[in-house]
């Protein structure tokens, strides 16, 4: 017999959803059979599986250790080589529900392959090494990020440490009530602010997008607002307000109006990028998610109501911007 005492990260979900995570190799039919036969109980009583769990609820599994081990699958663990390496995270803000992280260019937001190490893996390493998370707890809840930045885009990543934090952050990103602002160094002189709309279509084979003026099958509407901060030597420092948030949206949208981001190998000017690479060793686009503005909030994230946070520009970005006279 094993007992699960429901904690805050497990509360709010249905019992059958929790069991599917805890015994993730078990068929659903097996789980419901065990519930019917009272081999799995909730607070000492027979349960159907659709009950919503509360903190302190007691789930008992009257199953053999062999059965539980068989259906639990491989335990969720961090690779040994990555444990204790949470120090790689540049943490801007942290409370009991969320973390705001300044991601460096070159680091994945989430892994694309099993061997990848992303912000998520570093986040979990940090929480494990600081005692805020155990590997046993990861069987039913895994902290994660709520927004993605391209590998070679730096800046603000928001992550949920608790289930409530993860759910609320995800809602804010989905309903676009969270203000997301970027700084980028673009080619040419941008003298006026603009709000540009269009349609974005992605080529899955090349992982590249194109910007369209009219809707086509497979395209999605996008909206980007930008404001020049300072014009310098052949470049402009621009603040971008990301209204929608689609793949490569800022990079492709700015390139479509004749102002590609410096260092952008997919949508930028190859000759200009080559000059920056030779002069500065620049290998990525100078695009940085630098500011996050929270709306008026209540509930789990009420302490963040109307607050804003900024992520410092990378040293490389700062040096180039100063040399070009825009910082």
Alpha-carbon span 104 to 118, nearest angstrom: 11
**Cβ distance 308 to 295 under 8 Å?**
no
- pLDDT, residue 120, reads 92
Task: Report residue 221 as tokens.
Answer: 């509407």
Task: Report residue 268 as tokens.
Answer: 């930028």
Digit-by-digit pLDDT tens for the chain (327 residues) are: 889 999 888 888 899 999 998 898 999 999 999 999 999 999 999 999 999 999 999 999 999 988 988 898 754 444 434 444 444 789 999 999 999 999 999 999 988 787 888 999 999 999 998 889 888 788 888 899 999 999 999 999 999 998 889 999 999 999 989 999 999 999 999 999 999 899 999 988 888 999 999 999 999 999 999 999 999 999 999 999 999 989 899 999 999 999 999 999 999 999 999 999 999 999 999 999 999 999 999 988 999 999 999 999 999 999 999 999 999
Alpha-carbon span 253 to 45, nearest angstrom: 57
pTM exceeds cut of 0.85: no
What are the tens digits of pLDDT across the range 35-50?
A: 999 999 999 999 999 9
Q: Where are the beta strands (DSSP E) in the chain?
A: 2-5, 40-42, 45-46, 58-61, 91-94, 98-103, 144-145, 154-160, 179-187, 194-203, 208-212, 220-231, 235-242, 287-293, 308-310
Of residues 97, 104, 170, 106, the one with CA closest to residue 127: 97
Q: For the chain, which domains are there?
A: 2-72 (3.10.290.10), 80-174 (3.30.2350.10), 179-323 (3.30.2350.10)
- pLDDT, residue 74, reads 54
- pLDDT, residue 63, reads 93
Q: Identify the burial level of 244 via C-beta atoms within 10 angstroms of its C-beta, where 0-12 means exposed, 13-18 middle and 19 or more buried.
A: middle
- pLDDT, residue 1, reads 84
Q: In which element (H, E) is residue 83 found?
A: none
- 33: Cβ–Cβ under 8 A, 6 or more apart, which residues? none
């Amino acid at each position: 017999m094993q007992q699960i005492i429901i904690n805050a990260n497990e509360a709010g979900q249905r019992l059958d959803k929790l069991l599917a995570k805890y015994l993730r190799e078990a068929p659903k039919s097996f789980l419901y059979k065990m519930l019917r036969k009272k081999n799995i109980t909730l607070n000492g009583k027979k349960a159907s599986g659709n009950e919503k769990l509360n903190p302190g609820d007691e789930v008992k599994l009257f199953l053999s250790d062999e059965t539980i081990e068989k259906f639990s699958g491989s335990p969720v663990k961090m690779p040994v080589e990555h444990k204790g390496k949470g120090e790689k995270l540049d943490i801007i803000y942290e409370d009991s529900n969320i973390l705001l992280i300044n991601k460096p260019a070159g680091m994945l937001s989430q892994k694309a392959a099993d061997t990848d190490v992303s912000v998520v893996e570093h986040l979990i390493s940090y929480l494990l090494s600081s005692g805020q998370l155990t590997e046993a707890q990861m069987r039913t809840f895994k902290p994660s990020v709520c927004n993605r930045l391209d590998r070679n885009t730096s800046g603000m990543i928001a992550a949920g440490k608790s289930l409530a934090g993860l759910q609320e952050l995800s809602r804010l990103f989905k309903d676009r009530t969270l203000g997301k602002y970027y700084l980028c160094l673009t080619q040419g002189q941008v003298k006026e602010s603009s709000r540009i709309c269009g349609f974005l279509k992605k080529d899955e084979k090349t992982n590249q997008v194109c910007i369209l003026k009219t809707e086509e099958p497979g395209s999605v509407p996008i909206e980007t607002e930008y404001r020049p901060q300072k014009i310098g030597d052949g470049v402009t420092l621009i603040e971008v307000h990301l209204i929608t948030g689609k793949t490569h949206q800022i990079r492709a949208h700015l390139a479509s109006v004749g102002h590609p981001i410096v260092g952008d190998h997919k949508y930028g000017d190859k000759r200009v990028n080559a000059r920056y690479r030779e002069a500065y060793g620049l290998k990525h686009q100078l695009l940085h998610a630098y500011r996050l503005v929270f709306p008026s909030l209540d509930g789990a994230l009420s302490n963040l109501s109307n607050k804003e946070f900024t992520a410092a520009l990378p040293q490389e970005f700062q040096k180039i911007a100063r040399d070009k006279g825009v910082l």
